[in-house]
Amino acid sequence: MNNDRYIFRFSKVFLLLFALYIPAHSVRIEDRLSRLKNETRFNQIFLRDGLSQSIVQCIAQDKNGVMWFGTEDGLNKYDGYNFTVFRSDSEDPESLSYNNIISLLNDSRGVMWVGTFQSGLNRFDQENQGFVVYRHSPENPNSLSDDNINIIYEDKHGTIWVGTNRGINRLDEPEAGPGDARFSSFVHDPQDTFSLSHDIVRSILEDRAGRLWIGTDDGLNLMVEDSSRQQGVRFIRFQPRSSDRTSLPHPIVRSIYQTKNEEIWIGTDNGLSRVIDKSDGTPSGHFYNYQYQPNNTAGLSSAEVYVILEDQTGLLWIGTNGGGLNVFDRNGEKFISFRNDPEDPSTLSYDQIRAIYEDSSGLIWIGTYGGGIDKVDRRKKLFYHYQNDPQNTNSLNQNIVWSILEDPDNILWIGTNGGGLNKFDRDKNRWWHFLNNPSDSHSLSHNIVRVITRDKKGQYWLGTHGGGVNLFDPRKETFLRI
């Protein structure tokens, strides 16, 4: 693939903005942000380049450096040259469980996990290039609580957490197959104020103190140990209070992120918030809120904050739903926004952003809800765009991307909204797609993959939207459904 036609270069000023050795105060905040605004250009890679679908919902990278993109139409694997698309195949029991991929996780073991829409969690078998699928079973109380997988997360102990539309699930033995896997489920109980505040779980974070934060459709939750309770834990809730401007500004929590200086940032449907701690380091229940103001050109470009990332230089990258991409410099308390301009192919490909990922080489990958994938190369001063090309199977197979994950081989894994799990080897520019095959029990359980995580054993856990949890064997490229 010849990328030259899609390359747009930055000025030297942009490179300086991101250089690690330059102090934050060495360039005036106003100059840094205005130059970033004026001189950034995007390079687009379309569906014709091999991307299976333009709705990119998630992004990941594996240990080989291959990029994976989850779309609404399969999982795309991109080695830097070619795309391989994984889709569901009714005649292949080891295919992706469903093509709509919501999430991706490349865990510490090198395993790629793919979460789908309504078809459970997929684990990618690298050897067989197939999928193992984990699903909800009404007859099995130890199965996944729901097949709509919104997020997959691995804590520091290697435990896999799966956020669904019916609570949060803990999988203590990620290597177990679907028949042996045991999920512990934590759900909302209207009669219990110490239960999870809402069943729809959209975000999970373990902070450096080992505390688990959970974002739901009715507030933020902090899980704490409590031996007096049956499941050994209780949940502290942080919810909006109309009389308190320092409370959480909106009940729907889309993202949770901890920065290098241990600040906890929350993305909601009414802006960006930072947790205010007490002097002893415990949360005070109050937040410093940054909200959308239409007339403030230095503020957030949209109320709905879907994803947050701190890069190596300390800048916060904020993906919004309709307001494009925001970069926030905390030293100057200013935002700069990047929006799509239909008349300018060098701008952001789409204004609805679902995933932001910084890979091991410092590249920033952006998954959009309809425009495919944008790549920011700060060292080369380039932006690239990867999108689905219906005429090219070696492309991202779906342009709605829910999650992105990099594995130890530098391979990217992408969870999509209908395109299953995508695997992207950037060195070879190759894409692989893992999709659901109704006749193949070892395929991905559902093509909507919301989350992917990789555990310490190199196994991949995928959370789907309706297809439960899948354990993916990257060697066999098969899925074990739980």
Q: Find the CATH number of the domain harbouring 410.
A: 2.130.10.10
What are the angstrom distances between the C-alpha of 270 and each of 246, 254, 256, 301?
13, 10, 14, 11
* Average pLDDT along the chain: 86
CA atoms of 5 and 29, how far apart (whole Å): 33
pLDDT by residue (tens digit) across 135-149?
A: 999 999 999 999 999
| Residue 180, pLDDT score | 79
Residue 292's domain spans which residues? 4-481
CA atoms of 279 and 137, how far apart (whole Å): 46
Q: Partners of 22 in the beta sheet?
A: none
Q: Are 416 and 67 in contact (CB under 8 A)?
A: no
Number of domains in the chain: 1
CA dihedral (154, 155, 161, 167) positive or negative: negative
CA atoms of 384 and 217, how far apart (whole Å): 34
pLDDT by residue (tens digit) across 31-41?
A: 545 555 565 55
Residues of the chain falling short of pLDDT 70: 1-46, 377-383
pLDDT by residue (tens digit) across 419-451?
A: 999 999 989 999 999 999 999 988 999 999 988
